[in-house]
Amino acid sequence: MTRTSVVTGAASGIGKATKQLLEQRGERVIGADIRDAEVVADLSEPAGRAALVEEVRRLSGGSIDAVYAVAGLSTATVATVAVNFSGTVATLEGLRPLLLGSPAPRAVLVSSMAALMPSDEELVALLTAGDEQAALARAEILAKEPATTGRLIYASTKLALSRWVRRHASTSQWAGEGIPLNAVAPGVISTPMTADLIATDEGRVGLLKAVPMPLNGIAEPVVVAQALAWLGSVENTHLCGQIVYVDGGSDVVLRGDSVW
């Protein structure tokens, strides 16, 4: 049977590469994005999140095999909180019922190695508690100083996402239903999100100081797509709540022996 997958963020970068890869492998892929996709939906808003679920239900006939929640923003804005954390969780929770009819249901999201960077404890706590309104209000305060506190927003959303995966993967809703729930945490990937940062030698050197990638350096989006595709494949039966760093080594350089 042809697998049907949903990929958010399918219009660009890692999401686009994931959609292309899955299609090359013979899957049916329903792409979702705020633009240029089968399902056009704004994941920063509750209405857009609900529209995503309804449209996927309609296009799939009510059953899908895998969800790849890739859409994200990296700006020092409130929207980054709304899309990266709340939009991603709503995608996974909203589409979970459609996975239940699959013989091999899978769910994967894209976090980031940025989860290891300085973050705002209060914002992470509010996201972890599922209080979107309070989290957005906190982000509004942080965003007022884009060069300092604003920079904590992206890392905070990704830390909260990685934590969400760890906390939910083993529950009755996911593991209990036979759905492996996992994440990838990319290092620096060459996509429109990072294009300005890596356009110059100086930018690249500066970024790789913060995100050391001794193994093969900055990666193309297909590298992350391949890891995502495996996590969402029939072959993945027992990975549960793992954050797979596809980062050229930044995690081991930065954290060394502190995780095992």
Ligand X SMILES: NC(=O)c1ccc[n+]([C@@H]2O[C@H](COP(=O)([O-])OP(=O)(O)OC[C@H]3O[C@@H](n4cnc5c(N)ncnc54)[C@H](O)[C@@H]3O)[C@@H](O)[C@H]2O)c1
Q: Where along the sequence are the contacts to ligand X (CB under 6 A)?
A: 9, 11-15, 33-35, 42-44, 70-74, 83, 110, 112, 186, 188-189, 191-194, 221
16, 100, 111 from 168: Cα distances, Å: 27, 16, 15
Least distance to ligand X from the beta carbon of 101, Å? 25
Q: Closer to ligand X by CB, 101 or 206: give it.
A: 206
Burial class (CB in 10 A: 0-12, 13-18, 19+), 58: exposed
User: Which of 158, 194, 169, 151 shows the shortest CA–CA distance to 83?
Assistant: 158
245 is catalytic: no
Torsion sign (Cα): 94, 96, 99, 105: positive
Q: Which two tokens stand for residue 120?
A: 């705002």
Q: Which of 68, 85, 154, 245 is catalytic?
A: 154
**Rounded least distance, CB 103 to ligand X, Å:** 28
One DSSP character per residue, 137-179 reads HHHHHHHTSTTTGGGHHHHHHHHHHHHHHHHHTTSTTTGGGT-
Q: CB-wise, 35 or 209, nearer to ligand X? A: 35
The least CB distance from residue 81 to ligand X, in Å, is 11
Q: In this structure, are residues 212 and 80 in contact, taking their beta carbons and an 8 Å threshold?
A: no
Shortest Cβ 227–ligand X spacing (Å): 12
Residue 107 vs 193, nearer CB to ligand X: 193
> CB-wise, 14 or 126, nearer to ligand X?
14
Residues labelled as active-site residues:
154
